[in-house]
Structure 1
Amino acid sequence: MRTIKNRNIGGRPPKAPAEKKGYKITIKMDTEEYYTLKAKARDAGINRSEFIRLCIRSSVVKQHLTSEQMGYIRQLSGMANNVNQVAHKANAAGYSDVHRQCLSLNERLDNVIKKIEDDC
């Protein structure tokens, strides 16, 4: 009787450790999200897992605003209020009376905008 040596000669070669997917996650979706995922994966011609992997690789997530950036936004909001007050005064009293105030406010706005641009 002959014994068969190396039974697994044919078939798929084993994957290298770097190619193996070692982690499994579970996510919860509502019905609409699930069917949207299913349809988009089908339209792309890939399975759902590969679709999610592609989304993860190609997506860009914006970071939350820092407290410093939030402070700049609050300053800009306050300055916008000042601009409205100056416009109201200009309409009531005449533009020549508020010219100096406009220049000062414009300089403050430029400084805050430069700070924001430097942070980005």
Structure 2
Amino acid sequence: SLRLDAEHYFKLKSLVRTSGYGTAEVLRQLIAAGRVRERLCCEHLDFMSQLKGVARNLNQLTRLAHAKGFTGIVSRHTAIVVDIEGLLRNLRDDR
């Protein structure tokens, strides 16, 4: 059992609600790491599927660069890398 004042109780309940874990698991994570990371939600999965699509395009362009030379696709390659970095930043910031 755990006794908390109202402020800490509501903060714990908020962590439980946003993380998707139970109270005991949230407390375990807080003790072990000092923070609680929420589970992946639909929005994160959408970012990950976008990231997979962009990564596929990058792989195709890389193969094309090896076959025909890199100078013809530099601008497309750079744009895709910027998109990947943006998606990774969104995933990192949301977690």
Q: TM-score range by the shorter chain?
A: 0.5 to 0.7
Give the drift of 1:103. Answer: 0.8
Code of the aligned partner of 1:65: L
Which protein is bigger by CA-based radius of gyration?
Answer: 1
Give the drift of 1:64. Answer: 2.9
Aligned residue among 35, 38, 45 for 1:70: 45
TM-score, length-scaled by structure 2: 0.59
Identical-pair percentage: 22
1:1-120 matched pairs, under 5 angstroms: 59-60=28-29, 63-120=38-95
Structure 2 residues without counterparts, runs of 5 or longer: 2-23, 30-35
Give the drift of 1:110. Answer: 1.6
Code of the aligned partner of 2:46: G
Ranked by relative contact order (alpha carbons within 8 Å, sequence separation 6 or more), the top structure is 2
Give the drift of 1:57. Answer: 8.4
Distance 2:55 2:81 in 1: 11
Q: Report Cα offsets for 1:26-74 as digits up to 9, x if no partner.
A: xxxxxxxxxxxxxxxxxxxxxxxxxxxxx96863386431000001110
Greater share of helix: 2
Structure 1 residues without counterparts, runs of 5 or longer: 1-17, 19-54
Report runs of 4+ in structure 1 exceeding 2 Å deviation.
Answer: 55-64
The change in CA–CA distance for 1:57 and 1:102 in structure 2 (over 3 A counts) is closer
TM-score, length-scaled by structure 1: 0.48
Code of the aligned partner of 1:59: R
Aligned residues: 68
Distance 1:106 1:58 in 2: 38
Partner of 2:12: none
